Chain A
Amino acid sequence: MPDDVLGNRLLAVLAPEERDRLLRGATSEPLEARQVLYTAGREISHVYFPVSGMISLVVKMTDADDVEATTIGNEGLIGTAVILGVASTTMEALCQIPGRALRVPTRAVLEEIRRTASVNRLLLRYAEAMMVQLAQHAACNRTHSIEQRCARWLLMTRDRVASDEFPLTQQFLAQMLGVRRATVTMIAGALQKAGLIGYSRGRIRIVNGRGLEGVACECYDIVRRVMKTVTA
């Protein structure tokens, strides 16, 4: 079995024999930037448990550009629909920051859920936390300033990649926040001037995490707390 499995927080809290059974047919795979993990409307063949990197869930719109609904990292899994007994979803899962994930055949996940009530309960708790996270982000989009959302997004990403520095283009950040690139340039500039972040050649460095938390809306804290309860 790959030795990085404990880097995923859901896998880490399973009992060793549950984990062994679940991962029998699994492979540890690199996730590349822009890699599509599943497509809207297509059957989800594998569930991914990230150990690093970050993945976006994207809503496909018919009349506009795609919109990021939320992000997932090593606290979760890609393929909640499988847990819910549904073969495909209307969203797309897209890798945003490269990393690694355990890739588990859908059938193995379904078998383990059926077999072990505690695994089923854990994954349903995760589905609920995911729902709360989506709702919080929906409300956040509506209510909070771009500056607050930008700070939240950077902090969430930092937690996921477990590093204060990560690759990020302004264009990409603009897309994630659903704003124009010029707006992101302005906000990143202000955060940089305030000594909270450093930015050069497509890399972001969080210089003052505490300060950035002060700028972020409370959604950062709320979602982090909710996710913690899943594996608590």
Chain B
Amino acid sequence: MLRRYSGDVVARLEVNRLIAALPSADRQRLLEALQPVSLTVRQPLYAAGGPIKFVYFPLSGVYSIVSIVTDRDTVEVATVGNEGIVGISVFLGGRSTSDNAFCQVPGDALRMRAARFREEVYRSRAFRTVLLRYTEAFIHQIAQHAACYRLHSIVERCASRLLMTHERVNLDEVVLTQELLAQMLGVRRATVTAAAGMLQRAGLIRYTRGRITIVDRKKLGRASCQCDRTIRREYKRLLG
């Protein structure tokens, strides 16, 4: 089965931190069930109401989990990068889901059929333990987002999200349309334009044609609400 993978992907397998946290025998078994896949911007990973077919283990990129409100609006409630998985509800027993997941910043992932994922969970205690702890960190992330939505200004949240996205993609330049950024932050596009404009005028970012370049990371950190840092700290505490 291993020959399905390029050496590159095998070497990068451990880039997913949940997989990296497993003993090597467990990791090896997962590897046999995982297929590499490249995801493009806005590609859906699963949709509300339907069954989740695949569980994704991101190696790069950023994936957004959004709740649907009032039949039309979607609000981002969490993001997932290489610290986690997309499809946690398969682990918790859900057969269908009430949220949507899609790719926000393109990247690579490994994916596994939901049925196989359930088998692997059943088989491996180490895998279960890691997924339980991940669930707790994920719950914390959602709660922190909820509080952040209520308390912090759009500029603070915008700065915080840009920094986190930047850390995840590990490039100073992030490709992100204003429309996507608006959805991330749960505001209208015009509001994002204003917030990004303020950050740009202050010399913290540069924004041209859907590309955001971080000019001054330190200052951007000071302008942010730091909720994403709080979230990362909890992931670190629970998953190392």
Contacts and interface: CB of A to CB of B under 8 A. Distances in A.
Contacts of A63: 225-226
Interface of A, secondary structure class, is helix
Interface string A167-178: 000000000001
Contacts of A143: 69-70, 73, 75, 186
Contacts of A185: none
A143 B226 CA distance: 22
A94 to B, nearest CB: 14
15 contacts: A59-B147, A81-B136, A84-B133, A84-B136, A90-B140, A90-B234, A91-B143, A127-B92, A128-B92, A131-B92, A134-B146, A135-B78, A138-B143, A141-B146, A143-B73
Contacts of A136: 67, 69, 98
A86 B132 contact: yes
A59 B144 CA distance: 7
A134 B98 contact: no
Contacts of A144: 69-70
Given A131-B135, A134-B77, A218-B70, 9 more contacts: A59-B146, A62-B230, A84-B132, A128-B89, A128-B93, A138-B67, A138-B143, A144-B69, A218-B69
A69 B145 CA distance: 9
A141 B150 contact: yes
B128 to A, nearest CB: 9
B172 interface: no
A127 B143 contact: no
A137 B143 CA distance: 9
Contacts of B73: 143
Interface of B, secondary structure class, is helix
A67 B151 CA distance: 8
Interface in B53-70: 65, 67-70
B133 A138 contact: no
A142 to B, nearest CB: 4
B129 interface: yes
Given A59-B146, A69-B146, A135-B77, A86 B92 contact: no
Interface residues of A, number: 43
Contact of B142 (A80, A83, A135): A135
A66 to B, nearest CB: 8
Nearest to A80: B139
The 4 A-B residue pairs with the shortest CB-CB distance, nearest first, are: A138-B146, A128-B92, A139-B75, A67-B147
Nearest to B156: A63
A143 B150 CA distance: 11
A114 B77 CA distance: 31
Interface of A: 57, 59, 61-64, 67, 69-70, 80-81, 83-86, 89-91, 121, 124-125, 127-128, 130-132, 134-144, 178, 217-219, 222, 226
Given A131-B142, A135-B99, A142 B92 contact: no
Contacts of A217: 69-70
A219 B93 CA distance: 22
B190 interface: no
B70 A132 contact: no
Contacts of A131: 88-89, 92, 135, 138-139, 142
Interface in B99-156: 99, 129, 132-133, 135-136, 138-140, 142-147, 149-151
A225 to B, nearest CB: 9
Interface in B27-79: 65, 67-70, 73, 75, 77-78
B94 interface: yes
Contacts of A90: 140, 144, 230, 234
A69 B225 CA distance: 18
Given A80-B139, A142-B186, A125 B132 contact: no
B129 A85 contact: yes
Contacts of B69: 136, 139-140, 143-144, 217-219
Contacts of B142: 131, 134-135, 138
A202 to B, nearest CB: 25
Contact of A59 (B135, B136, B143): B143
A125 B88 CA distance: 12
B194 interface: no
A131 B99 CA distance: 11
B238 A86 contact: yes
